[in-house]
Amino acid sequence: MMLHTVNKSPFEKDSLKSCLRLSKEKSSILMIEDGVYGAIRGASTERSVAEAAKTRSIYALGPDLKARGIDLEKLVDGITVVDYDGFVKLAVESSKVQSWM
């Protein structure tokens, strides 16, 4: 299993879009830093994130959501919120980590 991390806002860069398109089924995708903006329901990324969540495990880093004032109720269905320990666990359990910048 591969872990993909996305740290750029989908409104500034195409990192999330590329990650969703190129990641393989059963991969894990973790939105961190400004990448968590891609997790918001109603954003232009909602449809592609929800579709990807059917075949991939999609996560958002809780402290980064909180730092940006994003309420958990506003997240796209299918996204799991993890803390820093969860981030470390995902990285350790993955055979590779790909950062999308």
Residue 1 above 90 pLDDT? Answer: no
pLDDT confidence of residue 55 = 97
For domain 2-100, give its CATH number from 3.40.50.2300, 3.40.50.10490, 1.10.4080.10, 3.40.1260.10. 3.40.1260.10
Could you read off the pLDDT of 65-98 as tens digits, one per residue?
999 999 999 999 999 999 999 999 999 999 999 9
Q: Structural domain boundaries of the chain?
A: 2-100
Beta bridge partners of 30: 5, 59
Q: What is the DSSP track for 3-43?
A: EEEE-S-TTT-SHHHHHHHHSPTT-EEEE-GGGGGGGBTTS
pLDDT confidence of residue 9 = 96
Q: How far apart are CA 101 and CA 92, in angstroms?
A: 21
* Sheet order of strands, 96-100 included: 79-82, 57-61, 28-31, 2-6, 96-100
pTM: 0.95
Q: Is 77 exposed, middle or buried (0-12, 13-18, 19+ CB in 10 A)?
A: exposed
